[in-house]
């Protein structure tokens, strides 16, 4: 909204003032939804919203409302759904929606050019036609609200399923369907454009391990290798861009989003556990460093995103020419870097510039140049350092310095998991700083807030905020147990049940029961750019239920799965979050509680963290048993370490060596 403050358009934020004016003047609403890092939002703003003539038409014919989709995902959900219903295809940003004063959508599109082109009407022409249509059909449109709401409800499943109807066959069908959609040459799902889809990849990797499906495992690892080689990854600064515009991951859309990088951090750490591939470790280290260097605020939370544009051009900050690179490097460094990154090949960005991506393995470059591998790697490292230092002197893309609770939770979880795998205390400290900031600044009187900017925390939190943060807390408990984190997790779980659950039909609404009344109140079940709140809520509640022995959490998760089970049967693709929760409902994770000497316990934790065990919850609670929940209140051994293993209601006698614990976990004794 601050980016549009100087527009000649008379923008209102979403709220009572704008809605009341529309009702009083019987004017339609022009709702424009965007976000700070959105390239086409900037294009439409420059073309139309900054033009006084266009603004005059907007101001005369409409009440104009600007919404930041990151602060108001509730509004964005509703009108993106309207776009899907009206146009039979997904929407995007900028979203341009025309509403009655009662918030009923009657025309929805995305980007519109200022003048007619690419088969799209010019924006001024569109404004006049929409306003004329509204004037002629205002009464009819007002009456259509109930019909449109009914159409919205039809998108959500009517039939629920009892837990005894749940079957692992659904997991197998989903795995096979996802595998069939994967690109066996370049990795990823489908063709261009290609998005990372970390949730789908995580589900496939988990099922591959559970089912012994080597083909599925290799498809995920292929995808991660191709992404790490491709231009979707920032080879100088670390971190992933939003998506690739081509099937080979070469040219990205250059915005960097926090919500992509948190889950990818976790996924690459898991891939390293499976393979010990040094490239996966590099990606984790560079992405974690990027998050701390460029995305972590002094207060502790993580910023939302980095823009695609700088100096008015998409990607300008990241692009090179061979001459620029040659001028910065020694001849020896350039020989290596040019072959590794393809600077000796034709331009790959709009036929005029070079975007760095790996064109051949470093071992192959070393052979071509008759160098030993260590010399080649050293020259590449020094070349990268010089290029990054020069890049940092350029005009930077804008950074959206909002701190969003749900997005922070995804990065906290990824950072905590990576810290556990690689034994990096700085990453754990980074995750803790972010969680502590949220707890001190965005947690008030037992309720979460959704956003923080410039010293102001505001907006009642949404389902994603509670669910994602609960999942992050459960991950942190495994990395470094703190009793106050467990209590915070309980409070978040109680908030989910009290403020969001549909007690009649199961599942969780996106907005709380005391949220402002909007045109529609969805229960998100489908993963999009971020995982579905219902899937993460069910997954995290189950895990917390196993840790605490609180059956209410397990029951609420089962009700949520029952609410969406029939939908998953019909459309398993896009439901990875719910499917992973279903997987752990059908086969509860093994709970391993480590008790004993602190240093010895830490050594056990470090050893097992480097193994891929998605079906295991391992905690090392400190202190006396009376301070712990029953599931964790295992006695301290007289010496060494005791590992207590339980699944569901079944527990085994403690084991006293890592080898014995590994044998128990691998034997499947706990059924």
Q: What is the pLDDT of residues 454-475, one digit of tens each?
A: 999 999 999 999 999 999 999 9
Long-range CB pairs of 358-367, under 8 A, 24+ apart, other chains included: 358/228, 358/229, 358/230, 358/235, 365/336, 365/339, 365/340
Q: How many angstroms separate the CA atoms of 427 and 412, rounded? A: 9
In the predicted structure, residue 2 carries a pLDDT above the cut 80? no
| pLDDT interval class at 671 (50, 70, 90) | very low
3 state DSSP class of 7: coil
Which segments of 241-398 are extended strands (E)? 243-244, 252-253, 256-257, 305-306, 309-310, 313-314
C-alpha to C-alpha distance for 260 and 253, rounded to whole angstroms: 13
Q: Among 419-433, 557-571, 622-636, which stretch is predicted with the lowest mean pLDDT?
A: 622-636
With contact defined as beta carbons under 8 Å apart, do 427 and 480 qualify?
no
Helix H, strand E, coil C: the string for 372-431 is CHHHHHHHHHHHHHHHHHHHCCCCCCCEECCEEHHHHHHHHHHHHHHHHHHCCHHHHHHH
Identify the weakest region by mean pLDDT among 145-159, 236-250, 334-348.
145-159
Closest CA to 487 of 359, 621, 366, 635: 621
pLDDT tens digits, residue range 73-101?
999 999 999 999 999 999 999 999 999 99
Q: Once rounded to an integer, what is the mean pLDDT over residues 345-373?
A: 97
CA 482/CA 473 separation, integer angstroms: 10
- Whole-model pTM: value is 0.96
Helices 214-229 and 278-290 pack at an angle, to 10 degrees, of 50
Q: Which residues contact 398 (CB under 8 A, 6 or more apart)?
A: 36, 37, 306, 307, 309, 310
* 669 band by pLDDT with thresholds 50, 70 and 90: low
State the sign of the Cα–Cα–Cα–Cα dihedral 367, 373, 377, 379: negative
The kind and range of the H/E element at 651 are strand 650-651
Which tokens sit at 55?
Answer: 């603004």
pLDDT tens-digit series, residues 245-291: 999 999 999 999 999 999 999 999 999 999 999 999 999 999 999 99
Q: Give dist(CA 270, CA 149) in Å, integer.
A: 42
Q: How far is it, in rounded angstroms, from Cα 207 to Cα 232?
A: 26
Q: What is the set of domains in the chain, with CATH numbers?
A: 2-154 (3.40.30.10), 163-310+400-586 (1.50.10.10), 316-396 (1.10.10), 590-667 (no CATH)
* Cβ contact 497:538 at 8 Å: no
In contact, 252 and 243? CB cutoff 8 Å? yes
The percentage of residues in the chain with a pLDDT greater than 70, rounded to a whole number, is: 99
Quote the tokens at residue 337: 């870097």
With 80 as the cut, is the pLDDT of residue 625 above it?
no
Parallel, antiparallel or unpaired: strands 399-400 and 309-310: unpaired
Q: What is the mean pLDDT of the chain?
A: 96
CA distances from 293 to 86, 239, 297, 548 (A): 43, 11, 9, 36
Tell me the backbone φ, ψ of residue 271, rounded to 5 degrees. Answer: -65, -35
Task: Express the helix, strand and coil content of the chain in percent, nearest 5 each.
Answer: 55, 15, 35
Q: Where does residue 187 fall: left (phi above 0), alpha (psi -120 to 50 degrees), or beta otherwise?
A: left
């Amino acid at each position: 909204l601050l980016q549009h403050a100087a527009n000649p358009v008379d923008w209102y934020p979403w709220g009572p003032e704008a809605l009341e004016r529309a009702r009083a003047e019987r004017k339609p609403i022009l709702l424009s939804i965007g976000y700070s890092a959105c390239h086409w939002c900037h294009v439409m703003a420059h073309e139309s919203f900054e033009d006084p003539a266009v603004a005059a038409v907007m101001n005369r014919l409409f009440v104009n409302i600007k919404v930041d989709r990151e602060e108001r995902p509730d509004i964005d959900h509703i009108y993106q759904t309207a776009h899907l219903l009206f146009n039979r295809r997904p929407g995007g940003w900028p979203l341009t929606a025309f509403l009655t004063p009662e918030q009923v959508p009657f025309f929805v599109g995305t980007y519109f050019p200022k003048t007619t082109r690419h088969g799209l009407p010019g924006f001024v022409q569109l404004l006049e036609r929409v306003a004329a249509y509204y004037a002629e059909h205002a009464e009819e449109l007002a009456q259509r609200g109930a019909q449109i709401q009914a159409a919205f409800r039809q998108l959500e499943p009517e039939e629920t399923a009892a837990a005894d109807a749940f079957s692992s066959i659904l997991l197998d069908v989903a795995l096979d369907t996802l595998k069939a959609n994967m690109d066996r040459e370049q990795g990823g799902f489908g063709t261009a454009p290609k998005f990372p889809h970390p949730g789908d990849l995580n589900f496939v990797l988990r099922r591959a391990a559970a089912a012994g499906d080597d083909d599925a495992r290799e498809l995920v690892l292929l995808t991660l290798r191709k992404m790490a080689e491709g231009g979707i990854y920032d080879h100088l600064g670390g971190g992933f861009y939003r998506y690739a515009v081509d099937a080979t991951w070469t040219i990205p859309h250059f915005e960097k989003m926090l919500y992509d990088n948190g889950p990818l951090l976790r996924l690459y750490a898991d891939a390293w556990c499976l393979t010990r591939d040094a490239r996966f470790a590099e990606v984790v280290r560079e992405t974690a460093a990027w998050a701390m260097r460029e995305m972590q605020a002094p207060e502790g939370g993580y910023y939302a995103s980095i823009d695609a544009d700088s100096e008015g051009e998409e990607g300008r900050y990241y692009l090179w020419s061979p001459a620029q690179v040659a001028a910065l490097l020694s001849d020896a460094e350039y020989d290596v870097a040019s072959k590794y990154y393809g600077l000796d090949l034709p331009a790959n960005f709009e036929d005029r510039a070079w975007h760095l991506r790996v064109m051949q393995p470093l071992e192959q470059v070393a052979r071509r140049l008759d160098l030993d591998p260590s010399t080649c790697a050293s020259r590449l490292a020094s070349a990268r350092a010089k290029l990054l230092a020069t890049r940092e002197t350029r005009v930077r893309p804008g950074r959206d310095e909002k701190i969003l609770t749900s997005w922070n939770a995804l990065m906290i979880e990824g950072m905590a998991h990576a810290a556990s795998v690689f034994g990096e205390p700085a990453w754990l400290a980074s995750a803790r700083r972010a969680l502590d900031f949220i707890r001190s600044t965005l947690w008030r009187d037992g309720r979460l807030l959704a956003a923080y900017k410039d010293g102001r925390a505001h907006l009642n939190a949404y389902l994603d905020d509670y669910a994602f943060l609960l999942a992050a807390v459960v991950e942190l408990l495994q990395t470094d147990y703190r009793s106050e984190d467990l209590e915070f997790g309980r409070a978040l779980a109680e908030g989910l049940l009290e403020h969001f659950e549909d007690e009649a039909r199961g599942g969780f609404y996106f907005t709380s029961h005391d949220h402002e009344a909007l045109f529609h109140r969805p229960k998100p079940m489908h993963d999009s750019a971020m995982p579905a709140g219902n899937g993460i809520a069910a997954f995290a509640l189950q895990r917390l239920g196993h840790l605490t022995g609180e059956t209410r959490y397990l029951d609420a998760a089962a009700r949520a799965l029952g609410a969406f089970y029939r939908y998953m049967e019909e459309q398993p693709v896009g439901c990875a979050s719910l499917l992973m929760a279903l997987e752990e409902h059908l086969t509860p994770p093994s709970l391993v509680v480590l008790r004993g000497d602190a240093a010895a316990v830490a050594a056990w934790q470090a050893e097992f963290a480097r193994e891929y065990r998605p079906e295991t919850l391992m905690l090392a609670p400190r202190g006396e048993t009376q301070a712990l929940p029953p599931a964790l209140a295992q006695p301290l051994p007289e010496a060494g370490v005791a590992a207590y293993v339980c699944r569901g209601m079944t527990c085994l006698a403690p084991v006293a060596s890592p080898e014995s614990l590994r044998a128990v976990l691998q034997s499947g004794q706990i059924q």
